[in-house]
Amino acid sequence: MAYIYKAGVVGGGLMGAGIAQVISYSGLPVVLKDVDEDRVQKGLRTIREMYEARVKKGKMSPEQLEHKMALVQGTTSYDDFADVDLVIEAVFEDLDLKRRVFADLGKACPPSAILTSNTSALSISDMGEASGRSDRVAGLHFFYPAPIMKLVEVIPTAKTAQDTLDTCVSFVESLRKIPVRVKECAGFLVNRLLMPYCGEAGYALQEGAATAQEIDEAMTTFGMPMGPFLLADALGIDVCWKVAQVLHAAYGDRANPPEILKFLYEKSRLGMKSGAGFYTYSEQPDILSELVLSRKKTGFSVERILYPMINEAAFCLQEEVASPSDIDMSMLAGTGFPQDKGGLLRYADTLGLDVVLNGLRNLEREIGPRFHPCPLLERKVEAGELGVKSKRGFFEHT
């Protein structure tokens, strides 16, 4: 396992700047690169604002702020990556662009340097091939906002060396974050589980089952920190749409995004950053009524969103993407799933896996095949592994 003495971040947007702030806060020097000086300076201003917020809250002194900012170097040139030990790529979600970045990093960085991507869903293996050093490439997926969210998905490819993986896990821990190893697949773990959270909410909205406010309020009442529509607006509709396309290509009908997401994307209503998304944050008019609702008169319930999330978690278990405990920790630390529920799979065990299975079957009959139960869930119920009441479900219960 190698030690990381200096890191680099490519991309000075909100995620890239947030990751660079996290690295500098841990005491490591970090180089922040973007394509032009204006974007570099914007990224540096974003980092400074993050530290200024801490000063205002009394969590650090102005002198400490300047000390941390001195650890951050802005650049437009890969020449400044000649002595980095690890790089995190955080550019736009475009595979061709990321491949070009990895090709440049492969030439500019020391042979021993580890190259990682903060991609939400794209192929890390493809980026590794472009770098010319696949054994030194992995995914490090931080969550928005990076300074606050504790979870980091660590995603090795089939060619990632064990030393690379061990170093990535140790690096994440040094940032005071929680690393969770996830098998490479489209969307990795958390975004696969959030797929029905945002997607099914979109279907319910466009079908007239409930308003955006009603759905968001139902989910926050359940205990989620943010409703699906406010979350989508915060992440960016463009980001959500691109991730949705990757997931749909990989998982078919159960990941087919709702029409309303495409509608907002094509109208350039990209969420908070553009002043309007599912909600309006400026003087822009509310144009969602322009979308012809199918008015299928489907009903909305919290279970309509939660059961598909449990179902997708079962698919992740079936595919050995992550363990049950890692899935629950990822939901708690990566999405803010309510602590009192114990995690998504423990919550399913408490409900009863037979209850979840019957709920999915009813939703499949009423709404459509995207609710078709995972074979693993069906097998568990057939075997009498119903959760807490049978002392065995996704977990053992005494």
From the list 141, 248, 372, 397, the catalytic residue is 141
The backbone torsions φ and ψ at residue 332, rounded to the nearest 5 degrees and listed phi first, read: -70, -45
* Residue 299 near residue 163 (C-beta atoms within 8 A): no
Distance (Å, whole) CA 326 – CA 373: 22
Residue reference for tokens 């097998």: 379
Helix axes 302-318, 212-222, angle to 10 degrees: 60
285 token code pair = 């008019």
Distance (Å, whole) CA 35 – CA 168: 26
Identify whether 67 is a catalytic site residue: no
Distance (Å, whole) CA 372 – CA 365: 9
Q: Residue 310: which H helix or E strand, with range?
A: helix 302-318
Residue reference for tokens 């002595």: 83
Q: State the pairing for strand pair 178-181/86-89.
A: unpaired
Secondary structure letter of residue 271 according to DSSP: B
Q: Looking at the annotation, which residues are catalytic? A: 141
